[in-house]
Amino acid sequence: MWGVVSPPASSTQLPIAMRADALLAQVKFNADGLVIAVAQDHATGEVLMLAYMNVATLRQTIETGVMTYWSRSRQKVWVKGESSGNTQSVREVSIDCDGDALLFKVDQRGAAACHTGRVSCFYRRLEDDALVVTSEPLFDPSTVYKQHE
């Protein structure tokens, strides 16, 4: 005879550290200790960007609710919006079937997610034999970001 089973407690009721541990236990990091992180606009469904996270930045993202990545080019922690003010707040996190990619539905705050000044990093589309630019920058990146030597 089947008994009545209570639904599991919402993950939002779990302590933050337990939520982070539950997700981290399922993630398969690559040989460099990184996992793909895709940011998607929660309201529109538009894919905003793809970046990478390590254990520390994934934990920080879950604990703070602010998207925090690992910058492969700068080899350092990168809190989205620290230079531009264009931050991403986490609304939902999903992991793919293989455990090697994460999807974050975010609230994009500020004009753009892309360092080129565009809403999305995916602003070029293949049409026939050419890449076509599908959106224009919303701001001049040289006025927003520090120039790196």
Alpha-carbon gap, residue 71 to 20, rounded angstroms: 21
Q: Residue 81 has which token pair?
A: 């919006």
Name residue 1's beta-bridge partners: none
The single-letter code of the amino acid at 94 is S
Q: Residue 49 has which token pair?
A: 């960007």
Cα 40 to chain center, whole Å? 7
Share of the chain above pLDDT 70, in %: 85
Alpha-carbon gap, residue 25 to 130, rounded angstroms: 42
Question: Residue 56: helix, strand or coil by DSSP?
Answer: helix
Question: Residue 134: helix, strand or coil by DSSP?
Answer: coil
Predicted pLDDT at 15:
65
Between 142 and 56, whose confidence is greater?
Answer: 56
Mean pLDDT along residues 17-38: 92
Name residue 130's beta-bridge partners: 127
Share of the chain above pLDDT 90, in %: 69
Question: b or e along 11-42 (b: 16 or more beta carbons within 10 Å of the residue's beta carbon)?
Answer: eeeeeeeebbeebeeeeebeeeebbebbbbbb
Question: What structural domains and CATH numbers belong to the chain?
Answer: 13-111 (3.10.20.810)
Tell me the pLDDT tens digit for each residue of 102-133: 999 999 998 899 988 899 999 999 999 999 99
Tell me the pLDDT tens digit for each residue of 70-97: 999 999 999 998 888 899 999 999 999 9
